[in-house]
Structure 1
Amino acid sequence: MPQEYKRKTNRGSNPDFLQRAAADVQGGSSIRSAAKDHGVDCSTLKRYMEKQRDDPEGVSGYQNCKIKNLIFPPEMETELAQHIKDLAASYNGLSKEKCCSLTYEYAMRNRVEVPDNWQTTQKAGQSFWLGFKKRHNLAIRSPEATSLARATAFNRHTVGKFYDNLASVMDQHKFQAQDIYNLDETGCTTVQKPGNVVAPKGVKQVGSVTSAERGELVTVVNTISAGGAVLPPLFLFPRVNYREHFIRGGPVGSIGGATRTGWINTETFVGYMDHFIHHTRCTPERKVLLILDNHEAHISLAAVDKAKANGVALLTIPPHTSHRLQPLDTAIYGPYKRAYARAMDAWMRSNPGKTVSIYDLPSLVNEVHVCACVPRNILSGFRSAGIYPFNRDIFTDADYAPANAPAENAPDADQAEKTGAPAADLENAPAAQDSDAPAAVPTENSDTTADAGSSGNPDGPTTSRASTSTYVSPRDIEPFPKAAPRKGRATNRKKGSTKILTDTPVRDEIAAANKAKENKKQAANTNARKSLFTKPQSRSKRKKLPSESSSSSESDMDMELSDTSDDSDVDDDQEDIIEGDFVIVKVHRKTRTMHYIARVDGFDADEYEGVFLRRVLSRNDDRATFVVDTEDEALWLQEDIAKKLPTPTVSGTSL
């Protein structure tokens, strides 16, 4: 049986024709002649006249059949559909199975008659679900994963501060479209995400060849303008030293760089600012605006000073809002990634048996720029973010729904200002029950209450009836998730916000934070140096004992640092380091700098290679003993060498 009847003809489909024919019949014409004059079927007109005689105020035709065959009254069904839409808007959408279960419980709690198959499966049937979707414009969608931080950070208060700063800087400098730029980084890997392919129906697994299982990452820094232009990109390779041939085949005018991780850092961003200034031709007299995120590499004193000296106004967007406020994210990187995957697939088919290396990526990115970085996408990105043309009301209440509570519980901006926290951090969840929900839903047969366990015709829906005494709304059954207040993390890291970095007060704040960070780093390096070269006083007074010779089975080389190794005995000139020397290497961690002893096995210009040493239990109480770990090989730069050590004392007979 079809899910929905489809009419074969259009006769009688227009109610106006039926009403005119009925008026002629009431005026004395016969049913047959009136039906012929108005192009209406004779039987249809006869049934219409009978229904009008029995129920003059009722609705005739197919619309009446639809209303009579509904499970729920229109008011109840509309409220159920609206609650499902509200849950989806708050990023708490329900699956099809959950919606059907909610519909069944909604009917049972309000004592609505349902078909027998609902009682058997404890959920709404497929026929109801298909009609329910069509009547209320619903569809099953694949949601985009959105972190809790993004869902709560994008609120009216935080976004309003960004537009305040944007309006301030635009009013001050009178920027035009060609003077407004957006910068952001994206990652390109040597392993693509395969696209859809045509395969036999019913096959459980369909494969597609990729370059490798786990690829290497190259960071690409892109900049676009509100006028539709795009600047040549910067490629950052995961290498220690950069060579010009790395970007062969890339977009015209592109530049390259190298970092150990392939990610952008403060030094590379300051270098990119020279590239940006060169292509925008900005000066202190002709300023430009650069909008970027709050990445740590972007907020450095060197970058702010260079931008301010060359007429670049830096404006940061609020943290965790780039998916809405950053034009590159909203309109460019979606087509960019899809075009990149297609280019990688084409390369793999054109070069069978070969793998993609990081040096092939610039040529692939060149193809991507032609497809994705087009003026139409760029202009759409700035327009959708409300940056240009300036529109601070571009986002509606539905866009803020994941962060904001309903109107009766929503925290206002004044309350957020008093607490010093964004509005999203204040009680985000709505109330369990809507105060505007009706206490009862009137129905055609409101005086009759159906038994909760009764069932209708299993082959079709039955007449809907609901109790007027106690009404249960969908929000009572499936309320909005209410999260407990978020606990603050025990960290000294200051929470970021939108700022005009080139303003003097903000610049001075960055300088003070940078100075405090440098002082803390110097203190940590001093303590680390003392721990390496200064012996405890209790050990220095002990009597030195001759070292015992190690056994011949010892496979490692034990070295004891001389207890007289102080700063005066060490040559600070690092240019005379040769193979076999021992040095102290600085290893920068996320929060501190560690110092390790290493043996130099080779060098090229300012790059050294060798192995690290590990400390073992000393046989003499007054000397530190280290052994060479041949498996712990590494590369380091000359700037990472903290000190050259004197020749150690070798203990043992085996090398």
Structure 2
Amino acid sequence: MSVRQAADKYGVPKSSIQRWVSSAKDSPPKKAGGQTSLSSREEDLIVSNLVTASEWGFPLTSMDIRVIVKQYLDRLGKRVKKFNNNLPGQDWVVSFLKTPKQILSERCCMNIKKVRAGIDQRMMQEYFSELEKSLDGISPEAIINYDETNITDDPGVKRVIGRRGSKHVYRIMDSSKSSISVMFCDTASGELLLPYVVYGESHVYDTWRQGGSKGALYGCSKTFWFNEIIFSDWFEGIILPYVKKLPKEVPKAVTGDNLSSHISINVLQKCREHNIKFILLPPNSTHLCQPLDVAYFRPLKAEWCKVLEEWKLNNRGPIMKDKFPAALKKTLNVMNYNNQMGHNIKARFKKTGIFPFNSQQVLKLIPKTTENEGDSQTLDNAFCTFLHELFRK
């Protein structure tokens, strides 16, 4: 419809129609849901902080977002009429998450202990400063990482088909609360070393060693976990044979958690004899700094559940210890085949900033408390205040 036709149809002057058209061209389009409460830049800052908080292990709820926006607006002295006392409604959050090109979504989360949230930029910067010195001149094949995990007898839940409306759907599958501890270690060059299995018993029978990976070692502990004696046996049986293949004058490094049961005078003495630097990770930081914990154990246990479920479909009761070595070997073979083991191991060392050395790989995941300028400073402060209040609880 032309300007003249519109003027004739609605009975208004042509000059008024022209002014309306010109005004519409100059005005930015409004977002769906009414007047825009926050600018695009402010929304981008919120998204950036939410992603950082989530990656750090403290994902926020929709109510958390509403409170943070209120704190941000209050700090600026800005009032939004559509918000009740500057607190956005739930409908605003829904609209915010549905905006075009939005990378956020609501989903279920897994829990980690709150002490892990106690790490900060300063502590991690000190760790990486020392790590850089310790790893200086050490080649990737001489950087070894270790971690201990438990393998359970429970294959976990599985989605099945059942009658609509049924509150409970059961599957006959024998399982128990028993578990077996396994120590894994890998190198920055992409090699996975042999596992060390610990049974929760006072003695290891020969049949409990058969059928597993060639060269794997087995021990026992009533607590199911490693103690100083078993740790020393693992070090001498797994680490030293690998280290001795490397030139003696070449420095080596072994990294792992700081559990007291993983440190002994014997191990430290062996480290001095073989030019090995023993590097402990910062407390409660394995979810950020431990290569095996970051990206290996979860897919490993997913494959283990598949192998265990297959075994239980053909057998009754918990998996027997004389069957465990073969089942674990099958799981590791599947992991090696499906996940391009060497490539993934290198990627884990890179993600944790160990090799190639890059502290920002981890530091970028920790919310910063440094001050920026303008709206960014105010919004960052709102996030930091909210997170610090959570940490103190």
Both proteins in one fold, TM over 0.5 = yes
Structure 2 counterpart of 1:197, from 131, 135, 160: 160
- Give the superposition deviation at 1:156: 2.3
Distance in 1 between residues matched to 2:201 and 2:308, nearest whole Å? 22
Q: CA contact under 8 A between 2:197 and 2:217: conserved in structure 1?
A: yes
Secondary structure (helix, strand or coil) at the match of 1:261 reads coil
Secondary structure (helix, strand or coil) at the match of 1:347 reads helix
Secondary structure (helix, strand or coil) at the match of 1:188 reads strand
Q: CA contact under 8 A between 1:386 and 1:392: conserved in structure 2?
A: yes
State the match for 2:249 in structure 1.
285
- Cα 1:161–1:55 shift into 2, 3 Å: same
Asked if 1:156 is matched to 2:121, the reply is: yes
State the match for 2:309 in structure 1.
345
Q: CA contact under 8 A between 1:293 and 1:317: conserved in structure 2?
A: yes
Asked if 1:361 is matched to 2:330, the reply is: no
- Give the superposition deviation at 1:74: 4.3
2:349 aligned partner, one-letter code:
F
Distance in 2 between residues matched to 1:105 and 1:308, nearest whole Å? 54
1:170 aligned partner, one-letter code:
L
State the match for 2:97 in structure 1.
133
- Cα 1:229–1:435 shift into 2, 3 Å: closer
TM-score norm. by structure 2 comes to 0.78
Structure 1 counterpart of 2:348, from 373, 381, 396: 381
State the match for 1:391 in structure 2.
358
State the match for 1:480 in structure 2.
386
Secondary structure (helix, strand or coil) at the match of 1:370 reads helix
Distance in 1 between residues matched to 2:67 and 2:366, nearest whole Å? 28
- Give the superposition deviation at 1:265: 0.6
Structure 1 counterpart of 2:112, from 111, 135, 146: 146
Per-residue deviation, residues 597-651 of structure 1 (Å, max 9, x unmatched): xxxxxxxxxxxxxxxxxxxxxxxxxxxxxxxxxxxxxxxxxxxxxxxxxxxxxxx
- Give the superposition deviation at 1:96: 3.6
State the match for 2:291 in structure 1.
327
Structure 2 counterpart of 1:260, from 217, 222, 241: 222
Asked if 1:112 is matched to 2:81, the reply is: yes
1:376 aligned partner, one-letter code:
H
2:104 aligned partner, one-letter code:
L
Per-residue deviation, residues 413-441 of structure 1 (Å, max 9, x unmatched): xxxxxxxxxxxxxxxxxxxxx89559xxx
- Give the superposition deviation at 1:357: 2.5
- Give the superposition deviation at 1:292: 1.2
Per-residue deviation, residues 517-540 of structure 1 (Å, max 9, x unmatched): xxxxxxxxxxxxxxxxxxxxxxxx
1:112 aligned partner, one-letter code:
K
State the match for 1:220 in structure 2.
182
- Give the superposition deviation at 1:317: 1.1
Secondary structure (helix, strand or coil) at the match of 1:145 reads coil
Distance in 1 between residues matched to 2:80 and 2:37, nearest whole Å? 12
- Cα 1:437–1:376 shift into 2, 3 Å: closer
Distance in 2 between residues matched to 1:151 and 1:485, nearest whole Å? 7
1:342 aligned partner, one-letter code:
K
Between the two structures, name the one with larger relative contact order (CA 8 Å, sep ≥ 6): 2
Structure 2 counterpart of 1:308, from 266, 272, 276: 272
- Cα 1:181–1:106 shift into 2, 3 Å: closer
State the match for 1:185 in structure 2.
148
Distance in 2 between residues matched to 1:88 and 1:486, nearest whole Å? 22
- Give the superposition deviation at 1:56: 1.6
State the match for 1:35 in structure 2.
none
Asked if 1:208 is matched to 2:171, the reply is: yes
State the match for 1:168 in structure 2.
133
Distance in 2 between residues matched to 1:59 and 1:315, nearest whole Å? 63
Identity of aligned residues (%): 20
- Cα 1:480–1:271 shift into 2, 3 Å: same
2:117 aligned partner, one-letter code:
A
List aligned pairs for 1:528-607, cutoff 5 A: none
Secondary structure (helix, strand or coil) at the match of 1:187 reads strand
Q: CA contact under 8 A between 1:228 and 1:378: conserved in structure 2?
A: yes
Distance in 2 between residues matched to 1:60 and 1:78, nearest whole Å? 20
Q: CA contact under 8 A between 1:332 and 1:372: conserved in structure 2?
A: no
State the match for 1:534 in structure 2.
none
Per-residue deviation, residues 193-236 of structure 1 (Å, max 9, x unmatched): 23333445543223334433x42221101111111111111111
- Cα 1:111–1:327 shift into 2, 3 Å: closer
- Give the superposition deviation at 1:329: 0.6
Secondary structure (helix, strand or coil) at the match of 1:367 reads helix
Distance in 2 between residues matched to 1:274 and 1:99, nearest whole Å? 52
Consecutive unaligned residues of structure 2, counting only runs of 5 or more, are 6-14
Secondary structure (helix, strand or coil) at the match of 2:234 reads helix
TM-score norm. by structure 1 comes to 0.49
Distance in 2 between residues matched to 1:131 and 1:485, nearest whole Å? 29
Secondary structure (helix, strand or coil) at the match of 2:305 reads helix
Structure 2 counterpart of 1:230, from 166, 176, 192: 192
- Give the superposition deviation at 1:188: 0.9
2:61 aligned partner, one-letter code:
S
- Cα 1:195–1:311 shift into 2, 3 Å: farther
Distance in 2 between residues matched to 1:169 and 1:106, nearest whole Å? 42
1:140 aligned partner, one-letter code:
E
Q: CA contact under 8 A between 1:232 and 1:251: conserved in structure 2?
A: yes
Q: CA contact under 8 A between 2:143 and 2:254: conserved in structure 1?
A: yes
2:386 aligned partner, one-letter code:
F
- Cα 1:92–1:71 shift into 2, 3 Å: farther
- Cα 1:50–1:258 shift into 2, 3 Å: farther
Asked if 1:247 is matched to 2:216, the reply is: no
Select the structure that is richer in helix. 2
Q: CA contact under 8 A between 1:101 and 1:124: conserved in structure 2?
A: no
Distance in 2 between residues matched to 1:130 and 1:194, nearest whole Å? 31
Distance in 2 between residues matched to 1:68 and 1:139, nearest whole Å? 18
Pick the structure with greater CA Rg. 1
- Give the superposition deviation at 1:152: 1.4
Asked if 1:295 is matched to 2:262, the reply is: no
Distance in 2 between residues matched to 1:183 and 1:105, nearest whole Å? 43
Aligned length: 366
- Cα 1:182–1:103 shift into 2, 3 Å: closer
State the match for 2:9 in structure 1.
none
Q: CA contact under 8 A between 2:209 and 2:218: conserved in structure 1?
A: yes
Secondary structure (helix, strand or coil) at the match of 1:196 reads coil
State the match for 2:12 in structure 1.
none
State the match for 1:70 in structure 2.
34
Per-residue deviation, residues 391-412 of structure 1 (Å, max 9, x unmatched): 1222344x111xx53527xxxx
Q: CA contact under 8 A between 1:88 and 1:94: conserved in structure 2?
A: no
State the match for 2:369 in structure 1.
405
Select the structure that is richer in strand. 1
- Give the superposition deviation at 1:380: 1.1
1:152 aligned partner, one-letter code:
G
